[in-house]
Amino acid sequence: MYVIGTAGHVDHGKSTLVKALTGIDPDRLREEKERGMTIDLGFAWLRLPDGREVSLVDVPGHERFIKNMLAGVGGIDLALLVVAADEGVMPQTREHVAILELLGIHRAVVALSKIDLVEPDWLDLVRSDVQEYLARTALAGAPIVPVSALTGAGLDQLIQTLVATLAETPPRPDLGRPRLPIDRVFTVAGFGTVVTGTLTGGRLHVGQELEVQPGGLRTRSRGIQTHRQKVEVALPGTRVAVNLAGLATEHLWRGHVVTVPGWLQPTTVVDAHVRVLAEAGPLVHNSVLSFHSGTAETMARVIVLEGERIEPGASGWIQLRLAAPLALARGDLFVLRTPNATVGGGEVVDAHARRHRRSEPGLLARLEILRRGAPTDRLRHLLEQGPQEPGLLGLQTGLEAETVQRALASLQAQGEIVTLGDLLTARRWWEQCRERVLGTLRAYHQRHPLRAGMPREELKSRLGFPPRLFGAVVQRLVAEGTLAETGPHLRLAEHTVRFGPDLAERVERLLGELGREPYAPPSLPDLMATLGLDEEVIAALVEQGRLVRLNESVALRSEVYREMVERVVALLREKGQVTVAEVRDLFGTSRKYVLALLEYMDQQHLTRRVGDVRVLRERVGV
């Protein structure tokens, strides 16, 4: 399946030719019919003599509507460049050809149109002119077919040439990751929301779970059409209309991408390799241009990563900071424009880049490796950026699945790969991560020597890791014995709470005071005030299992608490139930302490209150 896209200057006969070839008028808007000019994309299809169907995307030639042309040209396999014989190469002929070059569409058939308007001599002249012009472009050597849509002359020859050229065109690869960049959204009575686009990267089938990015809205394909025919499966390289379940048209627009869930993430910062057109001005650092990729468009600030500018005709590295998030992936091609002219374009090399300082050492070398490096280098560099989903490695490095496996095995053999749960990362990233975690905890212990450790959540937010990654990092450090978990706290395995000599002495006095009348100890806040001990010390003693704090004001020495619990439990075993008064008599203490003890035991799920008495919970252990 193939998609052919028209290209060429306004009024050179693109739409007329599409109609002559297919019988379908691509100018579908009323305004287009009234003005006799294409404004937005038009769509048609054609059955070739060999029985194959091809789609045609007709684009506007007028310079004011270049952005619509850019939205249509994305998924095409072959350009049908239309040059009017009476006018020859014109500004948008050049601009469209430049855009085709930048977007990697190097296959074209040239229709030298309106030949009914010129003399044969003139035709020969224009033909060699066009040939000469194309020779300096990526479309060099494209076949040129003189045609007239008016008289029908040359149309058969044109179709034969299209068939021959398509026969040499490799079909769109099926990578199992369908992407449908939306170019139209509308409602069909009785069906609901329908979107159209040129499908790449994989198949779509009816009933499939889908996601729309940016935004991550989930949906399902309720029905698919290609060339107005219902199909169960749409293949990459076709024009597709999909009926999406449960989504309103106002949530969808040109530039959104329909895909399978879970891989394509919106981004606002990308690193890219760009080529500046020879006929354009230089690409200047910090300039703001429009960015076009797929059917999407947004403004972008250009950070030139080497020097202050990239000269006309030259290539270089840039970072693009997008004004709105777009669903982009590595390898996506794009075009940059001022309001009046195309400046250049290139390839997204890192779709989710960090913001770089321009002087960042090693940055350009790293990007170069990402773009062109040996598979193992590309993979190692990606993994050094952080943990990655194994299933996305191919996509992010631009390598075939088999090559990824081989490179991964070789890195693994060199001990370069670290597994974190179901994620993979490079040894270097892991070592840095490890240092960071341990350093954070070390600093925390230093600041809070009396605390058992750092609350798990605090460490997680300090590191800024997503939950799954954080869990895997902790698990790995615990497994290697450097990290320990105590309840909700994480600490360095070597960390223990130690009191200095003066503090240790005051703690001993506290425990002494508490032990003097063990079942009726003095008020804890009073003791703390007298001895100059703060909450942190008490918490540490509780952590260490030397103190049990029944409530705000009552604390017991641990051995006293254990003894009391044992005796209460024994009494309960004997009698089945006990009252506050019975427990009070057991210890010869006052009601205040007994209430504190029993409530604490309730909280510990040792006992349960039933009316005025306590009973044992089923499972009892002290």
Q: Is 380 in the site for ligand GDP (CB under 6 A)?
A: no
Q: Is 13 in the site for ligand GDP (CB under 6 A)?
A: yes
> Nearest-CA neighbor of 293 among 338, 247, 328?
328
Distance CA 328, CA 482 (A): 39
Considering only the stretches 8-16, 99-107, 418-426, 483-491, report the one whose residues sit in contact with ligand GDP under the rule CB under 6 A: 8-16
Please list, in sequence order, all residues whose beta carbon lies within 8 angstroms of the beta carbon of residue 599, skipping any fewer than 6 positions away. 550, 551
Q: Closest CB to ligand GDP among 15 and 342? A: 15
Question: Choosing among ligand GDP, Mg ion, none, which partner's interface includes residue 150 (Cβ < 5 to 8 Å by kind)?
Answer: ligand GDP
Supply the minimum distance, in Å, between the C-beta of residue 249 and ligand GDP: 28
Question: Choosing among ligand GDP, Mg ion, none, which partner's interface includes residue 491 (Cβ < 5 to 8 Å by kind)?
Answer: none
Site string for ligand GDP, 76-115 (x = CB under 6 A): ------x------------------------------xx-
User: Count of residues binding ligand GDP (CB under 6 A)?
Assistant: 20
User: Count of residues binding Mg ion (CB under 5 A)?
Assistant: 3
Supply the minimum distance, in Å, between the C-beta of residue 345 and ligand GDP: 23
Distance CA 522, CA 542 (A): 17
Q: Closest CB to Mg ion among 15 and 396? A: 15
Considering only the stretches 32-40, 173-181, 211-219, 307-315, report the one whose residues sit in contact with ligand GDP under the rule CB under 6 A: 32-40
What is the token pair recorded at 526? 């009073």
Question: Choosing among Mg ion, ligand GDP, none, which partner's interface includes residue 11 (Cβ < 5 to 8 Å by kind)?
Answer: ligand GDP
| Binders of Mg ion in range 266-305 (CB under 5 A) | none
What is the token pair recorded at 330? 């590595």
Distance CA 164, CA 178 (A): 28
Please list, in sequence order, all residues whose beta carbon lies within 8 angstroms of the beta carbon of residue 72, skipping any fewer than 6 positions away. 5, 41, 57, 58, 59, 183, 295
Please list, in sequence order, all residues whose beta carbon lies within 8 angstroms of the beta carbon of residue 414, skipping any fewer than 6 positions away. none
Supply the minimum distance, in Å, between the C-beta of residue 60 and ligand GDP: 7
36 Rama class: left (phi>0) / alpha (psi -120 to 50) / beta: left
Supply the minimum distance, in Å, between the C-beta of residue 37 and ligand GDP: 6
3-state secondary structure string across 233-249: EECCCCEEEEEECCCCH
Distance CA 590, CA 588 (A): 7
What Rg do the C-alpha atoms of the chain give, in angstroms? 36
Site string for Mg ion, 30-49 (x = CB under 5 A): --------x-----------
**Cα–chain-centroid distance for residue 465?**
15
Distance CA 1, CA 503 (A): 81
Supply the minimum distance, in Å, between the C-beta of residue 248 and ligand GDP: 33
* Start-end of H helices in 278-387: 363-372, 375-384
Q: Is 15 in the site for ligand GDP (CB under 6 A)?
A: yes
Supply the minimum distance, in Å, between the C-beta of residue 419 and ligand GDP: 57
Q: Is 507 in the site for ligand GDP (CB under 6 A)?
A: no
Angle subtended at Cα 280 by Cα 274 and Cα 286, rounded to the nearest 5 degrees: 55
Q: Closest CB to ligand GDP among 36 and 246? A: 36
Question: Choosing among Mg ion, ligand GDP, none, which partner's interface includes residue 113 (Cβ < 5 to 8 Å by kind)?
Answer: ligand GDP
Question: Choosing among Mg ion, ligand GDP, none, which partner's interface includes residue 154 (Cβ < 5 to 8 Å by kind)?
Answer: none
C-alpha distance from residue 564 to each of 510, 514, 571, 591 (Å): 20, 14, 11, 14
Site string for ligand GDP, 147-166 (x = CB under 6 A): -xxx----------------
Q: Is 22 in the site for Mg ion (CB under 5 A)?
A: no
Supply the minimum distance, in Å, between the C-beta of residue 339 and ligand GDP: 21
Q: Closest CB to Mg ion among 38 and 208? A: 38
Question: Choosing among ligand GDP, Mg ion, none, which partner's interface includes residue 12 (Cβ < 5 to 8 Å by kind)?
Answer: ligand GDP
Supply the minimum distance, in Å, between the C-beta of residue 39 and Mg ion: 9
Q: Is 213 in the site for ligand GDP (CB under 6 A)?
A: no
Question: Choosing among Mg ion, ligand GDP, none, which partner's interface includes residue 290 (Cβ < 5 to 8 Å by kind)?
Answer: none
Distance CA 421, CA 404 (A): 19
CB atoms within 10 A of CB 486: 11
Supply the minimum distance, in Å, between the C-beta of residue 59 and Mg ion: 8
Which of 3, 12, 13, 15 is close enough to bind Mg ion by CB under 5 A? 15
* Shortest-Cβ-distance residue relative to Mg ion: 38
What is the token pair recorded at 4? 């052919």
Considering only the stretches 12-20, 191-199, 395-403, 405-413, report the one whose residues sit in contact with Mg ion under the rule CB under 5 A: 12-20
Site string for ligand GDP, 438-467 (x = CB under 6 A): ------------------------------
CB atoms within 10 A of CB 239: 24
What is the token pair recorded at 413? 């053999």
Angle subtended at Cα 311 by Cα 139 and Cα 274, rounded to the nearest 5 degrees: 55
Q: Closest CB to ligand GDP among 66 and 247? A: 66
Considering only the stretches 9-17, 116-124, 252-260, 293-301, report the one whose residues sit in contact with Mg ion under the rule CB under 5 A: 9-17
> Nearest-CA neighbor of 3 among 235, 327, 232?
235
| Binders of ligand GDP in range 49-68 (CB under 6 A) | 61
- Inter-residue contact 212 to 252 (CB < 8 Å): yes
Q: Is 14 in the site for ligand GDP (CB under 6 A)?
A: yes
Considering only the stretches 11-19, 287-295, 415-423, 598-606, report the one whose residues sit in contact with ligand GDP under the rule CB under 6 A: 11-19
| Binders of ligand GDP in range 113-142 (CB under 6 A) | 113-114, 116-117
Which of 38, 208, 396, 589 is close enough to bind ligand GDP by CB under 6 A? 38
Supply the minimum distance, in Å, between the C-beta of residue 12 and ligand GDP: 4
Please list, in sequence order, all residues whose beta carbon lies within 8 angstroms of the beta carbon of residue 38, skipping any fewer than 6 positions away. 10, 14, 15, 26, 27, 32, 58, 59, 60, 61, 62, 65
Q: Closest CB to ligand GDP among 99 and 322? A: 99
- Single-letter code of the amino acid located at 357: R
Distance CA 546, CA 560 (A): 10
User: Any idea how long the chain is?
Assistant: 622
Residue 452 half-sphere exposure, CB side, CA atoms within 13 Å? 17
- Identify the bridge partners of residue 78 per DSSP, sorted by sequence position: 4
Q: SS3 for 558?
A: helix
- Judging by DSSP bridges, how do beta strands 192-198 and 179-188 pair with one another? antiparallel
Q: Under the rule (CB under 5 A), what is the footprint of Mg ion?
A: 14-15, 38
Q: Under the rule (CB under 6 A), what is the footprint of ligand GDP?
A: 8, 10-16, 36-38, 61, 82, 113-114, 116-117, 148-150
